[in-house]
Structures are given as structure tokens and as C-alpha cells.
């Protein structure tokens, strides 16, 4: 029973360590890395193609143009920090 708990803890730790490391790039970097057609925004197709560690943030697409810009990602991350994997900070 104890070893099962330990395994779970290690798995959770591994996930906790891996995901923030990949999710950490700021919105501008994410857009720069995933924007393959250089329109300064990332479509769902581009998002998936660049292997983003989180699901495409469709709800960040505030102007509903089918892609998310760095500004939209930034606003979305600030609205829900836990969703992007970012650690909540006091500021
Ligand atoms: Ca948009």
C-alpha cells in the first residue's frame, strides 16, 4: 500500500515537473514558436502541429477569428493562471 502511494506521488511529481517546463514559455514565445504562417497568431492546427503541451485554448480566442494571438493568450493566462500551468503569484 505504501509503495503504491509512492508510485502515485512520483508520477504526480513527474507530471508536475514536466508540464510547467513545457508550458512555461510566455505567450509571445508560444506564438513565435507555433505560428507557422507568420500571421502573429496560432490556429488550432498550428497549436497541435507544434506539439503544445496543453489543449488549444479556444476560449482565449476573444475575437473569434479562429486563432489566438499573444495578447489573447496573455489575457487568458491572467484570467486563469492555473489553466496554463503557471504558478499563481501574489502579484
Ligand atoms: Ca483570435
pLDDT for res 26:
86
57 Cα–ligand 1 center, Å: 10
Distance CA 76, CA 57 (A): 8
Domain boundary assignment for the chain = 25-84
Q: What is the pLDDT of residues 15-25, one digit of tens each?
A: 554 444 445 57
53 Cα–ligand 1 center, Å: 20
Q: pLDDT tier at 72 (50, 70, 90 boundaries)?
A: very high
What is the mean pLDDT of the segment spanning 2-29? 60
pLDDT for res 78:
87
CATH architecture of 25-84: Orthogonal Bundle (1.10)
What is the mean pLDDT of the segment spanning 41-64? 94
pTM of the model: 0.62
Q: Within its chain, how far is the Cα of 31 from the centroid?
A: 11
pLDDT for res 18:
47
User: Could you identify the residue written with the cell 496554463?
Assistant: 84
What is the mean pLDDT of the segment spanning 61-82? 90
91 Cα–ligand 1 center, Å: 26
Residue 60 is given by DSSP the state G
What number of residues does the chain have? 91
Q: What residue spans of 1-91 are helical by DSSP H?
A: 2-23, 27-34, 44-49, 70-79
Amino acid at each position: 500500500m505504501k509503495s503504491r502511494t509512492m508510485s502515485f506521488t512520483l508520477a504526480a511529481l513527474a507530471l508536475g515537473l514536466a508540464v510547467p517546463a513545457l508550458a512555461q514559455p510566455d505567450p509571445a514565445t508560444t506564438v513565435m514558436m507555433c505560428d507557422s504562417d507568420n500571421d502573429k497568431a496560432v490556429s488550432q492546427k498550428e497549436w497541435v502541429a507544434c506539439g503544445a503541451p496543453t489543449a488549444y485554448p479556444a476560449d482565449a480566442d476573444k475575437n473569434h477569428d479562429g486563432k489566438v494571438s499573444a495578447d489573447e493568450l496573455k489575457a487568458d493566462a491572467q484570467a486563469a493562471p492555473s489553466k496554463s500551468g503557471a504558478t499563481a503569484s501574489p502579484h
